[in-house]
Amino acid sequence: MATNIGMMDSAYFVGRSEILAWINSTLHLNLSKVEEACTGAVQCQLMDAVHPGMVPMHKVNFDAKNEYEMIQNHKVLQDVFNKLKITKHIEVNKLIKGRPLDNLEFMQWMKRYCDSVNGGLIHNYNPAERREACKDVKELRKKSAPSQTSTKSSASVLKPFPHNGRRTDGPHASMPSQFTKVARPSSSGGPSVYPEPEHTVFEQQITELKLTVDSLEKERDFYFAKLRDIEILCQTPDIEKLPVVEAIKRILYSADGDGSLLADAQAMISQHQHQVEALGDSQKRKCIVNADVDAVASNISSPKQRFSEASDVHCSE
């Protein structure tokens, strides 16, 4: 059973649609966005499904709208993690903001964990019955069944309101009433002039764009942190004057995207390497010459040394 998985694990490549289908089929819900699970209630019931009786469902608020209510749900979830000795850290401050990417990653982890418990099989679990024990299930009941009142309310808003309840005749009959309200596209759940299928497609496209932006921002921050670490390392006094470090800093601090920078940096390193090799060859030749000189000097004796050697031979005779 894996509680900690790396960012390159296959669990984090599961798509948003598959995650939503899994949540809705497991808990008999009708969520349309992953970020709707930011309240923490869905995660609590998923843990209740794979570990029956472990989650105090009477403390879970499915109708949480305020951040403090969402935080309470995540505290319940964290307590369950602690009881099960799950070391996964819940980033509550990010999740309750409703950002699509953060909630998607956490739900991907939840799916991987739930699939690792009993092979992902859930027996004799009634999610609707378990939700009856929650604090408030009014909003949940609305989510469990598709709403059919939005088109009716939109049509009623568009009807003109006759003055004093009398029928308007004459040339003024074709003029729009000053009390007529025009429906405008709304992202807050109000009446919309778009057909429902088209509205759903737009919402999916917006969600995909948000996920793309969040992913790009995360990738940007990751590589910026790496470049900053490299910059700090290059500023170390012991190595900052080395040619390879100078070449790296030249690339880091370049103001334009000139493609010749890399070639120039490689040329700097190659030039230094050739200088080192030339210096090494010179030192080798110097050592060889010195050795030859010492050998010749040892074989050639001075007149004084020859006279001393001859005296030593005569005395020995």
What would the pLDDT profile of 23-50 be if each residue is shown by its tens digit?
A: 999 999 999 999 999 999 999 999 999 9
What would the pLDDT profile of 204-256 be if each residue is shown by its tens digit?
A: 888 888 888 878 888 888 887 788 888 888 888 888 888 888 888 878 777 66
Number of domains in the chain: 1
- pLDDT tier at 67, thresholds 50, 70, 90: very high
| Residue 17 or 305, more confident | 17
Is 155 part of a structural domain of the chain? no
Q: What is the CATH number of the domain that holds 123?
A: 1.10.418.10
Mean pLDDT of 81-98: 92
For the ranges 8-22, 88-102, 299-313, the lowest mean pLDDT is seen at 299-313
228/91 Cα distance (integer angstroms): 25
The whole model's pTM is what? Answer: 0.46
User: Could you tell me which of 215, 13, 10 has the C-alpha nearest to residue 102?
Assistant: 215
pLDDT at position 70 is 95
48/125 Cα distance (integer angstroms): 9
Q: Is 118 left (phi over 0), alpha (psi -120 to 50) or beta?
A: left
From residue 122, alpha-carbon distances to 46, 50, 134 in Å are 10, 6, 20
Is 240 part of a structural domain of the chain? no
275/280 Cα distance (integer angstroms): 9
38/77 Cα distance (integer angstroms): 12
- pLDDT tier at 310, thresholds 50, 70, 90: low
Is 170 part of a structural domain of the chain? no
Domain span holding position 70: 10-144
Mean pLDDT of the chain: 75
Is 282 part of a structural domain of the chain? no
Is 25 part of a structural domain of the chain? yes
